[in-house]
Every structure is written in C-alpha cells, then in structure tokens.
Amino acid sequence: MVAVHIHTPQDNLPEKLGEYLLAEQDKALSQSKTFKVAISGGSLVNVLKTGLIDNSKIAPKIKWDQWEIYFVDERIVPLNHPDSNYGAFKVAVLDHLTVKQPKVFPLNASLVGKGPEENKKIAKEYEDLLPKTIDSLLLGCGPDGHTCSLFPDEEHKYLIEEKTQRVMWCYDSPKPPSDRITVTLPVLADAKQIAFVAEGSSKQPIMHEIFDLKNTKLPTALINKLYGEKVTWFVNDEAFTKVETKTF
Ligand SMILES: O=C1O[C@H](COP(=O)(O)O)[C@@H](O)[C@H](O)[C@H]1O
C-alpha cells in the first residue's frame, strides 16, 4: 500500500510536501547530524521553491545547514546549462538561501562532454559519493511513467533491471538530453522514505496506468509495488482526474 495525498488547488500541495519534509528532517536529525535528501529535476524543483522557500510557515523551520542534497538523476551537461538538474535547483532554491546553505553534491562537471568512458566515470564517481542510506528520496513522474532517469522502454531495461551498480550512465535517453546518470533500484531499496510529486493534466493518462492498471512495466508503478510501505504520492486533483481506484 502506498500513501496518496490528493490536493485541490485550495489545498496547498507544496505546503503539504514541506510539512512532510519537515517531519522527515526532524526525524533524521534526532538520530544523526545530517538529513540526507536526494532530489529529481523537472517540475519538482519549483514545488520545492514554493514549499520550502516561499512558504513563511515552513521556511524558518528548515535547517538547511544540516541538509545534504544529492540528485537521483542528472543530465550530463555543464552545471549552468538550462538542462542541468543541479542548475535548475540552484536557481529555484539555492540562490535564495543567504544565511545557511546545505551541502550539495553535483556531478563532476570537469568530465562533462568528453565521451562514453567519461560518462561511465561520472556515474561511478557519483555512486562513490552517494551514502548507502538516503533519508528522503524526492521523485518526479514523467508522462511516460519514468522516474529518476529510469525509462520504461525496452532499450532502457538495463537500468531498471540493474541489481548491483547504484548509479549508471543512461545513454540515448528518450527524453533529451540524451546522456544522463541515474540511481538504480538498489538506492531506492535502501532509502528510508520515497515521495513522488505529480501535478497537472499532462499526467492524467499515466496516473490511470500506474494506479488503476498497476502496469509494473512502468518504473513508477514497479516502485509502488516493490517499496509501497515507504512510498507517499503528492498529486493534485487535476493529475488524478482519471484514476478510479480508491485502494492504492
Ligand atoms: O527528465 C526528467 O524528468 C522527470 C519528470 O519531470 P517532470 O517535469 O515531468 O516532473 C524528472 O523527475 C527527472 O528528474 C528529470 O531528469
């Protein structure tokens, strides 16, 4: 069973995500000096800005200097490139933090654009810096059911089926840019909590496929099945219009 929070426009999804993260932060910091979070790119970064930076109830309670922030996937582009997940997060969130900064772990930009061997090295280096256990994974869901850079097509099965390597080079990505790195299922298996965020009408067909048809060929639906007990979805009612089931 996964937990699903369905938000109406009046019911503020970014604030609910912020409250969830505050609770996870406080839980982690009661046992450790750091709160380890790994985030997606895409639409999630603006939800984080609204929930954690712009929200005056949440913002003062975030202990940014005790956060370690990793990326569940990253596009292999320079960090200031418009496609960079780190770059998008920097503009949306980090640039607004003037007093306390988290420790952020981007990929090794010096290896970007050099070729296949360097792309594998970027993935390996990222695997080496990633802690075994992440407290909170914050994931997106593409309209094709991908999450992280784990894509549902046959050509990219090697990523979702990987059992050992924790971070891999994703080549020929169906969504540009073509070269990426992504965490694999072992990282999700070891994480303490997993949250998905999906908003908007473009996500309606895929929400139906994930929640009604439970099509586990989709990485998102497979993650629900494998790790459901620690999975929470934050969706808005627009994205969830076509979902009929009430049992998740
Ligand atoms: O390419 C990516 O897409 C997914 C989904 O993005 P969204 O904009 O549809 O939410 C994202 O989670 C992933 O990190 C990103 O690299």
Q: Kindly report, residue by residue over 187-235, the tens digit of the pLDDT.
A: 999 999 999 999 999 999 999 999 999 999 999 999 999 999 999 999 9
Ligand 1 pocket test: which of 17, 39, 44, 235 has the largest number of ligand atoms within 8 Å of its C-beta?
Answer: 44
CA of 85 to the centre of ligand 1 (A): 9
* pLDDT category of residue 11 using cuts at 50, 70 and 90: confident
Average predicted confidence (pLDDT) for the chain: 97
pLDDT at 74 exceeding the cut of 90: yes
Q: What tokens does 38 get?
A: 């790994």
The residues, any chain, with a CB within 8 Å of residue 225's CB and separated by 6 or more, are 214, 216
pLDDT of residue 4: 97
pLDDT at 10 exceeding the cut of 90: no
Q: How far apart are CA 226 and CA 16, in angstroms?
A: 25
* pLDDT category of residue 9 using cuts at 50, 70 and 90: confident
Q: What are phi and psi of 115, to 5 degrees?
A: 135, 175
pLDDT of residue 106: 98
Ligand 1 pocket test: which of 43, 156, 169, 183 has the largest number of ligand atoms within 8 Å of its C-beta?
Answer: 43
pLDDT of residue 195: 98
With a 6 A CB cut-off, is 142 part of the ligand 1 pocket?
A: yes
Q: What tokens does 155 get?
A: 């050509």
pLDDT of residue 8: 93
Atom of ligand 1 nearest to the CA of 40: 14
Residues 173-190 have a mean pLDDT of 98
pTM over cut 0.90: yes
The residues, any chain, with a CB within 8 Å of residue 157's CB and separated by 6 or more, are none
pLDDT in tens, 125-139: 999 999 999 999 999
ipTM over 0.90: yes
Q: How far apart are CA 83 and CA 74, in angstroms?
A: 9
pLDDT of residue 199: 97
Ligand 1 pocket test: which of 37, 49, 73 has the largest number of ligand atoms within 8 Å of its C-beta?
Answer: 73
Asked if 64 and 100 touch (Cβ cutoff 8 Å), the reply is: yes
CA of 30 to the centre of ligand 1 (A): 31
Closest CA to 222 of 246, 198, 189: 189
Q: What percentage of the chain exceeds 70 in pLDDT?
A: 100
